[in-house]
Structure 1
Amino acid sequence: MTSHLKICLTVNQLQFGPNVPLFSPMNFVCHQGEVCAILGANGRGKTTLLHNLVNIQSTLAGDISVRGGIGFVPQSCAFAFCYHVIDVVLMGLAQKIGLFFQPSDDDEKRALAALADLGISSLANSLFTQLSGGQQQLVLIARALVADCAVIALDEPTSALDLHNQQTVLQLLQTLARRDNKCVIFTTHDPSHAFLVADKALLLLPQGEWLFDDCQKILNLSNLQQAYGVNTKQATFIVDQHPYQTIIPLFDGLN
């Protein structure tokens, strides 16, 4: 699948952490047209790794190479001033249009199109600070979209969203890869989300170990039990005559 696609992100002998490496040296690549999910238990280092990939935090060792730029969507964002949603989205163009330039009509059309992709066009003139956490997260995704980078990295993009908006974002991640040939990287606590949309998975394990490969190879029952300490089951449902595969957690003591 990926042999003919160009490499957008290369990680070579990467070591990261607050003071000492959290994991053994990492080596992996992500291609255009791929969705890569980063999974692991709370506190394992998913966000720290993402901050290294987008150069918010310095690495302890190793190299990260990005071709075509990388856009970042954090879990949340606080602004010093009250901005309208459309202005927050246009901030995604800051590196291209400069600090003292005004966005063009075409720039505003791109920003509105990004909001439309996420189903939140009606929020364009709302104040960002007055939105719910989930709505703010969707706006931050739109901000990353207008930057038109080859790589888009998202930190738990569905964590504050209801089921409808989770569906919207997961569909968007897959569309960005399949239609727009983006390289999409996202962290998640939900293996079923990764199983649905990701081509590759990076699973962070205890004792500084990690696994990277095709998503369906990585997210097997043994690896997930090692990562989370919870048994899971892969299930296939037939929906409209098509198979629908998912991962179900089997929580002890509950029925």
Structure 2
Amino acid sequence: MLEASSLSFRYSTKGPWIFRDVSVRAAAGEVFAVLGPNARGKTTMLKCLAGLTRPVAGSVEATGTVGYVPQSHAVMFSFSVLDIVLMGRARTVKIYSTPTSADRAAARDSLHRVGIAHLADRDYTGLSGGERQLVLIARALVSDCATIVLDEPAAALDLRNQARVLTVLRALADDGMAVVMTTHHPDHALHVAERSMLMVSPEDQRIGPTRELLTGELLTEMYGVPIVTADIETPSATRRLTVPDFGRGIA
């Protein structure tokens, strides 16, 4: 669904590389997670994958439309949830035209797909952070995208809303969509992603099956904080969790 070959990016011709020679592939039906420290280029790489930023080198090929969900979204005016989602139909609405009844039906279907159809007439600015994130996912879906790219979709959300967003993303992949997401939470990747990438340094990106890749040793190397992994029995399944030691090894 989405494949990038030898992507490289820096802000100036003589500036340092943000990332270099990144090659990734997200297939239909899978969640692909990207992890790395702050300022390692995760958001920039996602924008390259979504076609919003031009890489210095390399190429991106996608089957169908790519939907993009930013980490945060502010609006200048009061819009209803339905109107925010309808903005995702912009490429199909002709110039000087307004959304059709079919566009509105598609927007309501997208809201239903992420489980928030009952919020259609609510003011977007009055929603919780988790509800807003689901609205932005619905806005991407209404574009009929085959791949959805999300920048830290569960950031700054409470545990319940983290679970809601991750459940939606897993369901989208199970329905055949390719899902690419960045996260600062290894546990999120372990919960929903078949494969992951660790952006260890600008020229060191490691890709593999999530449970094999996200080891305590490698996460410790990347984040500079002692991290161990543990398999925990939960009511639903055995889960692998990461446990950082915040009290040691911090310069």
TM-score (norm 2): 0.90
Equivalent in the alignment of 2:159: 163
Equivalent in the alignment of 1:27: 23
User: Residue 181 of structure 1 is aligned with which of 159, 167, 176?
Assistant: 176
Equivalent in the alignment of 2:7: 14
Task: Report the CA distance shift for 1:241/1:78 in structure 2 as closer, same or farther (over 3 A).
Answer: closer
Equivalent in the alignment of 2:228: 233
Q: Can you list the C-alpha shifts for 1:15-66, whole angstroms capped at 9, x where unaligned?
A: 0132242223112222111110010011111111111111211111111111
Q: What is the one-letter code of the residue matched to 1:239?
A: T
Partners in 1 of 2:147 and 2:56 — Cα distance?
22
Secondary structure of 2:169's aligned partner: helix
Q: What is the one-letter code of the residue matched to 2:51?
A: N
Question: Cα offset for 1:145?
Answer: 1.5
Equivalent in the alignment of 1:50: 46
* Structure 2 segments unaligned to the other structure (5+ residues): none
Give percent identity, aligned residues only: 39
Partners in 2 of 1:119 and 1:169 — Cα distance?
10
2:136 aligned with 1:140: yes
- Once the two structures are overlaid, the 10-residue window that deviates more, 24-33 or 44-53, is 24-33
Cα-Cα RMSD: 2.0
2:215 aligned with 1:220: yes
Q: Can you list the C-alpha shifts for 1:95-142, whole angstroms capped at 9, x where unaligned?
A: 123344443444333322322343433321122233344432221111
Contact 1:192 1:248 survives alignment (8 Å): no
Question: Cα offset for 1:80?
Answer: 4.1
Equivalent in the alignment of 1:124: 120
Q: What is the one-letter code of the residue matched to 1:225?
A: T
Secondary structure of 2:20's aligned partner: coil
Q: Can you list the C-alpha shifts for 1:68-95, whole angstroms capped at 9, x where unaligned?
A: 1100001122334332110110111221
Partners in 2 of 1:58 and 1:230 — Cα distance?
33
Contact 1:195 1:247 survives alignment (8 Å): no
Secondary structure of 1:24's aligned partner: strand
TM-score (norm 1): 0.88
Equivalent in the alignment of 1:62: 58
* Structure 1 segments unaligned to the other structure (5+ residues): 1-7
Partners in 1 of 2:62 and 2:202 — Cα distance?
28
Task: Report the CA distance shift for 1:99/1:191 in structure 2 as closer, same or farther (over 3 A).
Answer: farther
- Say how many residue pairs are matched: 246
